[in-house]
Amino acid sequence: MTVSVTAHFRIAWRAFKTHRRVFIVSMLVLFASWASLELCVGTLHRFGVTLNVLLHVAFLWLFSGLMVGVHGMALDAVDGRVPRLSRLTASLERGPAWLLAFCVYLLSVIGGLLLLVVPGVYVAARYALFGPVIATRPATGIEALRSAGALSHGRRWAMCRFVLAALALNVAGAALLGLGLVISFPVSLLAASSLFCTLQHAPVASSAARTDGASEPIRPGCP
């Protein structure tokens, strides 16, 4: 099956334009969680290292759970369902799995880049879709990485192009004083969700059976 990276980013852009308010608000919530951590650390630093560590652990748990929620919202959007902010906190219990997968993924990518660059790019591409896996079903971090690797099997070049395109988009967003990330980051997640749905080969429920006011799927194949 041919994977068109450009097509997935076009789908992502259409989905973002349709639901831009909910995704911009979700990005602001993520930023607010980080800002709250910094405020608490700055205010309570005199109470010692233990409290500082506890605050960071609480932040990582919350942020990871919110990331699972954003992935779920992205999957809803590309499937034609209406992404709702309530989804943002609906899967907080999956946050630890996302955090573990992210840490293993990040360390593996960094290790590969330090070795010969190419291994890092390979790891980044092969396991990039662990987020949608966790948003779709309960899974441990390692199981999510394995599932992501299985989905990308035999499609290494398409996945490399996708990861590089997403990286370039977010670098451009960050270059705009970081403000562009409010758009580039959700668009990247939407594109990843579209790609994930394509690789899943999952049927989409008939629009006639929908009762949530959703539109026709922006792209077919989301679970």
Give me the residue spans of the domains in the chain: 5-209
Task: Give the pLDDT score at 125.
Answer: 94
Nearest to 19 by CA among 71, 66, 88, 83: 83
Q: How far is CA 155 from the centre of its chain?
A: 20
Helix axes 20-44, 49-78, angle to 10 degrees: 180
pLDDT at 131 exceeding the cut of 70: yes
Task: Give the pLDDT score at 215.
Answer: 43
Count CA atoms within 13 Å of residue 61 on its CB side: 7
CB 203 within 8 A of CB 33: no
Task: Give the pLDDT score at 210.
Answer: 39
Residue 113 and residue 133: Cα distance in Å, rounded? 25
Average confidence score pLDDT of the chain: 87
Provide the pLDDT confidence category of residue 196 given band limits of 50, 70 and 90. very high
Task: Give the pLDDT score at 212.
Answer: 42
Task: Give the pLDDT score at 2.
Answer: 60
199 φ, ψ to 5°? -70, -25
pLDDT tens-digit series, residues 6-45: 999 999 999 999 999 999 999 999 999 989 888 888 888 7
pTM of the model: 0.86
CB 198 within 8 A of CB 8: yes
pLDDT tens-digit series, residues 45-98: 788 888 889 999 999 999 999 999 999 999 999 999 999 999 999 999 999 999
pLDDT tens-digit series, residues 96-105: 999 999 999 9
Task: Give the pLDDT score at 3.
Answer: 66
Task: Give the pLDDT score at 116.
Answer: 80
Q: How far is CA 97 from the centre of its chain?
A: 13
* CA distance between the termini of the chain: 19
